[in-house]
């Protein structure tokens, strides 16, 4: 549990960070809260020669809410997401889901940027970003580009992030006032990744589902946006049969690996249960 | 009369904070401030660091080891392999079970993460870098993972070093992967009872391989002083004196030139009883280099290479009448010991005290037999917060009682009440030969049932089952009852030794002239609070306030010889030694008091903190006064000073017991089990510090929860450890831990000087079957007799699925 040797850099601006990445080449890694990368380095599964720590870049920190538009800086911690009353007022699912990540010590250090950029299918925030249809702001030597969360993830630890680029923020529109939402996560204990988890955001009017988005955590090698399942809910009356159909559609796109949480078929089954429970809870919360 | 000037006996007793007082732990001042001193806190000038290159294979021949690249890492001093240890005859070391274990793999590796090479470097970073660069070439060999195939005719030979040695430490081996067969009881009589029984139940009850996983891992600092020839080792040792003797036997350094120090220890739970390759390698490296060498393992190394627990596969069989009177018990155990037999058991008991498996019941005839086998897994087999193999026995029996209850259609609590040993049968000799010291099981069980309102719980369960059948709920209620009897306090030297070292324990007391004291013991606390509780025993015995008594353990140069702390033996053995040493102090003090009070020895009597003249309590001398007089007044016929030492060889074990009831709610759709309620009644005899007892019970129940619900060191078919880190290995947090309800009855041990029996391990022994019985009971009405631990989400869901309850 001792990492290999590395050099440590702490730039104070995005430009300086991008410059460092450009000059140091592919043996450099960006570190945000360090709660994925540092354990991997301790296990020597990652052996970067240079760590570029973003913690002094103040412009990467904070939650900006402008009308319905929400922008969350990459270095915003999970604890800050939980503590933000402003965010809770317009989009409570983020704080509620962040509270299901690890434990308070980890949430004080772990950031949303690290959580969504690392490409670990066990991380919770990517599915939420997909359910909220967020856009990630990527900055690199070639300038800025925006990539939708639903297009960002390619395989485990492989994302649309190009070499030398830094994910600086996630932006999305707050769901309409009165929307229903839930993040249901089954895990073995505090600090564990999900056996399966489901994020649901929906709106209901006159017992009819107007909008719906469902995304899944840790049941494939990327987070999974469940379009067909979401489609089944839209326009429906959200009865038991529809919910079951949506859960079955969501299960159909899963491809989990067997691990200590159980074999693949169990984790797929739990994904279905989490989808159903998240839909039911979202309906309860919808006004 | 001035009350203040003459406090009553009760007031004076309260001030002593002796036995029965919930005195706060004196250790906590330093622990809560982060000022404990653990092995890894020890820093000595010029100290080097050791780290292991470990096997990636479970079974393979070592073709070559290339150290070149590793030696080139700046700061690397040396790299030891078996070849370097062979000339010193240190490439194998004796285990506590009469086997030998490779210190560094000799020609082949026998389990994944086995120690192959020991890197010594100037700092732990250089050592870790070099470990990565030790090139070991392997030729893979077929592995044995499943103990049930270990003794197949064509099973590969695992232990080539002893392949032709068919006479083992515990009798004849009947296969190259066989370690021993051990049995107790009346086989013929038991077979007859089974044949003639109205009802027989039989079930395979497996207790999976788990690991004690103390918060602090194992480690040591070895320091050889080449000037005076003295080797000092600070280490995470649960038995420092035993380590000194073993170290002397291994190294041939005379025992007076070895000093073993156990500093603060962050939990042991049996994991720190054994001797590990790291200790030997650090000592060898220090002897060679002449500077101190530190070795501290990380969590993954701890979980995958140091001593595991359990891995007992128990086929239990009970014979009974139709009315539920048990007429016989049989059990055969297949015991997976891993690659080396490194169990920590008394020599004559290779399966520990498994023969306590008749438990709390009056069973007329019984037989048990245990076959130990080698597999390609880490060695161990320690008593994880229990006396030797007692929790395995209790688990098997308490599960089997429930299986019998199901078969008979009887309530599990009622079946237990029907078969308990009765109060008037004590001292009771069990069918397997143990003499139970004292007990009142019916009272304990009835108190437990009354407190939880057992009848109401069963009614509620009946309603829940009806609602489930009607489709109104997807949750099943389970009620787990467990009643256990432990056997602890090993033990009488006549039948208990480890490597020939008798299992007595000791206490040495010095009273200072001004009336305070220091007591030194052969035990070592790893969180049990000895500095608090042993002072309380003495406070009551010698009448000095507990706060004026220092308790010191763990330094073999100062402490009297003792066998250490494990198997709930500290209170039964060292606690008794403490009381006996205190009584010697008091006996001398009595003579001094009589002289000073100018009466005959027999005319003074003890009262809390003083000797007073019989019939004239106004004439007295306090222990404080007597201490001063002992040193400073010439007393005819008496030597100056006030000291005593006692080596206590217990006449018998002690037999604590308890009644536990657990209520769970099982979500059949997710497999999630919620503990709604857990009630634990313990009878540990005389209670020294009720608060510490409660803390012990809370800790032990939390470990029981962990074992029953999630802990498992599993291997894949290649012998790779699955989930050997805390990512997967289940250590519950406060969030997963339910609220514990504790209760007690007090039935003192008649043979122990203060009547205490020990409690630290009871909650693990009773807790595991209580949880498991609750989960099994949730499905019992669907015909489930037994489902294997751990009861994690997947396994519970699978059980529901097999019973057709999902979907």
Q: Do A2 and B300 touch (CB under 8 A)?
A: no
Asked whether the predicted pLDDT for residue B387 surpasses 90, the reply is: no
Domains of chain A from N-terminus onward: 7-51 (3.30.43.10), 61-173 (3.30.465.10), 181-285 (3.30.390.50)
- The per-residue pLDDT for B723 is 83
- The per-residue pLDDT for B545 is 98
**CA-to-CA distance for B169 and B285, rounded, in angstroms?**
30
> Chain B: nearest CA to A44, how far in angstroms?
9
Q: Do A190 and B735 touch (CB under 8 A)?
A: yes
Per-residue confidence band for B249, with pLDDT thresholds at 50, 70 and 90: confident
* pLDDT mean across residues, chain B: 96
Which helix (H) or strand (E) element contains residue B604? strand B604-607
Q: Do A5 and B723 touch (CB under 8 A)?
A: no
Q: Which residues of B touch A120 (CB under 8 A)?
A: none
Asked whether the predicted pLDDT for residue B263 surpasses 70, the reply is: yes
**Residue in A4, A189, A195 closest to B736 by CB:** A189
Asked whether the predicted pLDDT for residue B1 surpasses 60, the reply is: no
Q: Do A266 and B797 touch (CB under 8 A)?
A: yes
The separation between CA B242 and the C-alpha centre of its own chain, rounded to angstroms, equals 16
- The per-residue pLDDT for B155 is 98
First-to-last CA distance in chain A? 50
The separation between CA B781 and the C-alpha centre of its own chain, rounded to angstroms, equals 36
* Nearest by Cα to B506 from B524, B486, B527, B531: B524
Q: Do A273 and B670 touch (CB under 8 A)?
A: yes
Mutate to test the interface with A, among B219, B732, B793, B801 (most CBs of A within 10 A): B793
Asked whether the predicted pLDDT for residue B254 surpasses 90, the reply is: yes
* B275-278: Cβ within 8 A, 24+ apart: B275/B93, B275/B94, B275/B95, B275/B96, B275/B243, B275/B246, B276/B218, B276/B306, B277/B52, B277/B93, B277/B101, B277/B102, B277/B103, B277/B104, B277/B115, B277/B118, B278/B50, B278/B52, B278/B115, B278/B218, B278/B219, B278/B220
Q: Do A1 and B728 touch (CB under 8 A)?
A: no
Q: Which residues of B touch A122 (CB under 8 A)?
A: none
Residue B644, Cβ neighbours under 10 Å: how many? 20
Q: Which residues of A touch B298 (CB under 8 A)?
A: 1
Residue in chain A lying closest to B133 (CA): A4
- The per-residue pLDDT for B6 is 77
The predicted model gives B25-44 an average pLDDT of 96
**CA-to-CA distance for B338 and A250, rounded, in angstroms?**
43
**Least confident residue range of B31-35, B80-84, B568-572:** B568-572
Q: Which residues of A touch B474 (CB under 8 A)?
A: none
Q: Which residues of A touch B670 (CB under 8 A)?
A: 186, 270, 273
Nearest-5° Cα angle at A242, A240 to A243: 65
Asked whether the predicted pLDDT for residue B739 surpasses 90, the reply is: yes
**Residue in B669, B735, B794 closest to A262 by CB:** B794
* Bridge partners of residue B199, in order along the sequence: B320
* Nearest by Cα to B204 from B803, B718, B786: B786
Residue in chain B lying closest to A196 (CA): B670
- The secondary structure of chain A in percent helix, strand, coil, rounded to multiples of 5, reads 35, 25, 35
Residue in chain A lying closest to B673 (CA): A188
B239 near B499, Cβ under 8 Å?
no
- The per-residue pLDDT for A1 is 84
Q: Do A5 and B125 touch (CB under 8 A)?
A: yes
Which 8-state DSSP code applies to residue A35?
A: T
Neighbouring C-alpha atoms within 13 Å toward the C-beta of A168: 19
Q: Which residues contact B483 (CB under 8 A, 6 or more apart)?
A: B359, B360, B398, B416, B420, B441, B444, B445, B657, B658, B659, B660, B766
- Say if A104 is an interface residue toward chain B (CB within 8 Å): no
> Chain A: nearest CA to B217, how far in angstroms?
13
* Bridge partners of residue B61, in order along the sequence: B108, B139
- The per-residue pLDDT for B574 is 94
Mutate to test the interface with B, among A266, A274, A280 (most CBs of B within 10 A): A266
Encoded tokens for B169 = 């430490």
Asked whether the predicted pLDDT for residue B181 surpasses 80, the reply is: yes
A160-188 as b/e, with b when 16 or more CB fall inside 10 Å?
Answer: bbeebbbbbbbbbebbeeebbbbbbbbbb
With respect to CATH, is domain B9-36+505-648 assigned 3.30.365.10?
yes
pLDDT tens profile B63-83: 999 999 999 999 999 999 999
**CA-to-CA distance for A24 and A26, rounded, in angstroms?**
7
Q: Do A189 and B710 touch (CB under 8 A)?
A: yes
**Residue in B670, B736, B797 closest to A190 by CB:** B736
Q: Do A273 and B735 touch (CB under 8 A)?
A: no
Q: Do A2 and B125 touch (CB under 8 A)?
A: yes
> Chain A: nearest CA to B112, how far in angstroms?
17
Q: Do B793 and A260 touch (CB under 8 A)?
A: no
**CA-to-CA distance for B439 and B427, rounded, in angstroms?**
8
Asked whether the predicted pLDDT for residue B807 surpasses 80, the reply is: no
**CA-to-CA distance for B480 and B774, rounded, in angstroms?**
4
What residue ranges of chain B are covered by domains with CATH 3.30.365.10? 9-36+505-648, 308-490+653-802
- Say if A199 is an interface residue toward chain B (CB within 8 Å): no
Q: Do A260 and B797 touch (CB under 8 A)?
A: no
With respect to CATH, is domain B308-490+653-802 assigned 2.60.40.420?
no
Size of interface A-B (CB pairs under 8 A): 56
The predicted model gives B545-564 an average pLDDT of 96
- The per-residue pLDDT for B5 is 65
**CA-to-CA distance for A125 and A140, rounded, in angstroms?**
23
> Chain B: nearest CA to A135, how far in angstroms?
31
**Least confident residue range of B5-14, B44-53, B740-749:** B5-14
Beta strands in B492-648 (DSSP E): 497-498, 501-502, 505-511, 517-521, 549-553, 604-607, 610-613, 616-622, 643-648
Mutate to test the interface with A, among B794, B802, B806 (most CBs of A within 10 A): B794
- The per-residue pLDDT for B4 is 57
Q: Which residues of B touch A269 (CB under 8 A)?
A: 797, 806
Mutate to test the interface with B, among A195, A260, A269 (most CBs of B within 10 A): A260
Asked whether the predicted pLDDT for residue B3 surpasses 70, the reply is: no
Of the candidate CATH numbers 3.40.50.300, 3.30.1300.10, 3.30.1490.20, 3.90.1170.50, the domain formed by B39-141+217-265+272-305 belongs to: 3.90.1170.50
pLDDT tens profile B487-522: 999 889 998 888 888 999 999 999 999 999 999 999
Encoded tokens for A27 = 């043996």
Q: Which residue shows structure tokens 């009802």?
A: B199
Q: Do B124 and A270 touch (CB under 8 A)?
A: no
- Say if A44 is an interface residue toward chain B (CB within 8 Å): yes
A194 near A185, Cβ under 8 Å?
yes
B263-296 as b/e, with b when 16 or more CB fall inside 10 Å?
Answer: bbbbbbbbbbbbbbbbbbbbbbbbbbbebbbbbb
B718 near B654, Cβ under 8 Å?
no
- Just list the catalytic residues of B: 238, 385-386, 761
pLDDT tens profile B623-666: 999 999 999 999 999 999 999 999 999 999 999 999 999 999 99
What residue ranges of chain B are covered by domains with CATH 3.90.1170.50? 39-141+217-265+272-305
Q: Which residues of A touch B129 (CB under 8 A)?
A: 4-5
Which 8-state DSSP code applies to residue B733?
A: -
* Nearest by Cα to B179 from B332, B312, B305, B342: B342
Q: Which residues of A touch B735 (CB under 8 A)?
A: 189-190
> Chain B: nearest CA to A106, how far in angstroms?
14
Q: Which residues of A touch B671 (CB under 8 A)?
A: 266
- Say if A280 is an interface residue toward chain B (CB within 8 Å): no
**Residue in A1, A188, A189 closest to B300 by CB:** A1
- Say if A84 is an interface residue toward chain B (CB within 8 Å): no
Residue A81, Cβ neighbours under 10 Å: how many? 24
Q: Which residues of B touch A262 (CB under 8 A)?
A: 792-794, 797
B324: left (phi over 0), alpha (psi -120 to 50) or beta: left
Q: Do A262 and B125 touch (CB under 8 A)?
A: no
**CA-to-CA distance for B193 and B492, rounded, in angstroms?**
32
- The per-residue pLDDT for B184 is 98
Q: Which residue shows structure tokens 């450099």?
A: A28
Q: Which residues of A touch B711 (CB under 8 A)?
A: none
**What residues in chain A have per-residue pLDDT under 50?**
none
Interface of B with A (CB under 8 A): 124-125, 128-129, 132, 298-300, 669-672, 710, 722-723, 727-728, 730-733, 735-736, 792-794, 797-798, 806
Which 8-state DSSP code applies to residue B216?
A: S
What is the per-residue DSSP string for B380-416? EEE-TTSSTTHHHHHHHHHHHHHHHHHHHT--HHHHH
B144 near B375, Cβ under 8 Å?
yes
What residue spans of B210-311 are helical by DSSP H?
A: 240-251, 277-289, 299-305
């Amino acid at each position: 549990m001792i990492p290999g040797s590395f050099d440590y850099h702490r730039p104070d601006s995005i430009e300086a960070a991008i410059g460092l990445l450009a000059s140091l080449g592919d043996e450099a890694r960006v570190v945000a809260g360090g709660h994925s990368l540092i354990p991997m380095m301790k296990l020597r599964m990652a052996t970067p020669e240079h760590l570029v720590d973003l913690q002094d870049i103040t412009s990467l920190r904070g939650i900006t809410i402008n009308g319905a538009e929400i922008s969350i800086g990459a270095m915003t911690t999970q604890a800050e997401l939980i503590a933000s009353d402003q965010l809770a007022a317009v989009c409570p699912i983020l704080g509620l889901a962040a509270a299901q990540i690890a434990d308070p010590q980890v949430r004080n250090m772990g950031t949303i940027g690290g959580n969504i950029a690392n490409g670990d299918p066990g991380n919770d925030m990517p599915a939420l970003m997909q359910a909220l249809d967020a856009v990630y702001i990527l900055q690199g030597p070639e300038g800025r580009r925006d990539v939708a969360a639903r297009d960002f993830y390619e395989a485990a630890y492989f994302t649309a992030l190009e070499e030398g680029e830094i994910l600086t923020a996630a932006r999305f529109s707050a769901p309409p006032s009165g929307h229903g939402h839930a993040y249901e996560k089954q895990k073995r204990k505090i600090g564990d990744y999900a056996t399966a988890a489901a994020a649901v955001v929906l709106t209901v009017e006159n017992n009819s589902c107007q909008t719906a988005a469902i995304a899944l955590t840790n049941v494939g090698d990327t987070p999974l946006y469940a379009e067909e399942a979401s489609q089944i809910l839209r326009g429906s009356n959200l009865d038991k049969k529809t919910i079951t159909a949506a859960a079955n559609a969501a299960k159909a796109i899963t491809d989990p690996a067997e691990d200590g949480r159980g074999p693949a078929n169990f984790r797929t089954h739990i994904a279905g249960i989490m989808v159903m429970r998240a839909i039911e809870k979202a309906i309860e919360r919808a006004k | 009369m001035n009350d203040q000037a003459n406090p009553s006996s009760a007031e004076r007793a309260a001030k002593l904070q002796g036995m029965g007082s919930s005195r706060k732990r004196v250790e906590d001042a330093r622990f809560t401030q982060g000022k404990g001193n653990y092995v890894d806190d020890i820093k000595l000038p010029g100290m080097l660091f050791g780290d292991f290159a470990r096997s990636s294979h479970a079974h393979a021949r070592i073709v070559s080891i290339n150290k070149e690249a590793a030696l080139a890492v700046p700061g690397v001093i040396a790299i030891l392999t078996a070849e370097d240890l062979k000339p010193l005859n240190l490439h194998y070391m004796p285990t506590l079970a009469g086997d030998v274990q490779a210190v560094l793999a000799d020609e082949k590796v026998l389990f994944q993460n086995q120690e192959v090479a020991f890197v010594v470097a100037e700092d732990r970073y250089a050592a870790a870098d070099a470990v990565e660069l030790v090139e070991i070439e392997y030729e893979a060999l077929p592995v044995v993972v499943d103990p049930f195939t270990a003794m197949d005719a064509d099973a590969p030979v695992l232990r080539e070093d002893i392949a032709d040695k068919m006479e083992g430490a515990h009798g004849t081996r009947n296969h190259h992967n066989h370690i021993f067969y051990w049995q107790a009881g009346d086989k013929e009589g038991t077979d007859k009872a089974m044949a003639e029984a109205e009802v027989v139940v039989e079930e395979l009850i497996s207790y999976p391989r788990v690991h004690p996983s103390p918060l602090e891992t194992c480690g040591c600092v070895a320091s050889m002083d080449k000037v005076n020839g003295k080797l000092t080792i600070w280490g995470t040792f649960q038995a420092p004196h035993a380590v000194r003797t073993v170290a002397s036997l291994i190294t041939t350094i005379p025992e007076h030139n070895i000093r073993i120090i156990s500093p603060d220890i962050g939990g042991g739970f049996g994991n720190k009883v054994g001797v590990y390759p790291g200790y030997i390698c650090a000592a060898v490296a220090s002897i060679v280099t002449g500077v101190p060498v530190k070795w501290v393992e990380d969590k993954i190394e701890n979980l995958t290479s140091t001593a595991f627990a359990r891995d007992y596969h128990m086929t239990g069989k009970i014979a009974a009448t139709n009315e539920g009177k048990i007429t016989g018990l049989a059990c055969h155990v297949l015991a997976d010991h891993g690659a080396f037999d490194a169990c920590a058991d008394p020599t004559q008991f290779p399966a520990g005290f498994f023969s306590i498996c008749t438990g709390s019941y009056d069973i007329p005839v019984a037989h048990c037999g245990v076959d130990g086998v080698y597999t390609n897994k880490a060695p161990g087999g320690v008593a994880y917060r229990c006396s030797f193999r007692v929790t395995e026995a209790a688990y098997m029996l308490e599960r089997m009682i429930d299986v019998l209850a199901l078969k008979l259609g009887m309530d599990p609590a009622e079946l237990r009440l029907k078969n308990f040993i009765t109060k008037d049968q004590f001292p009771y000799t069990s069918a397997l030969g143990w003499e139970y010291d004292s007990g009142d099981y019916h009272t304990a069980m009835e108190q437990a049932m009354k407190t939880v309102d057992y009848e109401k719980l069963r009614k509620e369960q009946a309603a829940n089952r009806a609602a489930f059948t009607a489709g109104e709920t997807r949750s099943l209620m389970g009620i787990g009852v467990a009643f256990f009897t432990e056997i602890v306090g090993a033990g009488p030297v006549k039948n208990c030794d480890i490597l020939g070292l008798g299992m007595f324990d000791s206490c040495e007391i010095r009273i200072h002239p001004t009336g305070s004291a220091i007591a030194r013991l052969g035990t070592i606390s790893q969180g049990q609070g000895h500095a608090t509780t042993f002072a309380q025993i003495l406070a009551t015995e010698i009448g000095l306030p507990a706060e004026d008594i220092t308790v010191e353990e763990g330094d073999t140069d100062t402490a009297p010889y003792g066998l250490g702390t494990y198997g709930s033996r500290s209170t039964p053995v060292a606690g008794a030694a403490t009381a006996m040493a205190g009584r010697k102090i008091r006996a001398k003090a009595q003579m001094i008091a009589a002289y000073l009070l100018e009466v005959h020895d027999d005319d003074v009597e003890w009262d809390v903190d003083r000797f007073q003249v019989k019939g004239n309590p106004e004439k007295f001398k306090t222990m404080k006064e007597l201490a001063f007089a002992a040193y400073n007044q010439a007393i005819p016929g008496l030597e100056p000073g006030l000291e005593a030492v006692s080596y206590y060889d217990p006449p018998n074990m002690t037999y604590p017991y308890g009644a536990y009831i657990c209520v769970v709610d099982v979500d059949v759709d997710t497999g999630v089990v919620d503990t709604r309620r857990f009630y634990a009644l313990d009878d540990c005899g005389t209670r020294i510090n009720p608060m510490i007892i409660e803390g012990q019970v809370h800790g032990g129940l939390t470990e029981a929860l962990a074992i029953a619900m999630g802990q498992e060191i599993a291997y894949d078919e290649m012998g790779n450890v699955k989930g050997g880190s805390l990512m997967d290995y289940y250590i519950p947090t406060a969030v997963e831990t339910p609220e514990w309800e504790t209760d007690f009855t007090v039935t003192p041990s008649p043979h122990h000087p203060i009547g205490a029996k020990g409690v630290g391990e009871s909650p693990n022994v009773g807790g595991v079957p209580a949880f498991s019985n609750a989960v099994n009971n949730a499905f019992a009405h669907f015909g489930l007799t037994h489902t294997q631990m751990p009861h994690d989400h997947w396994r519970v869901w699978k059980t529901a699925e097999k019973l057709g309850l999902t979907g």
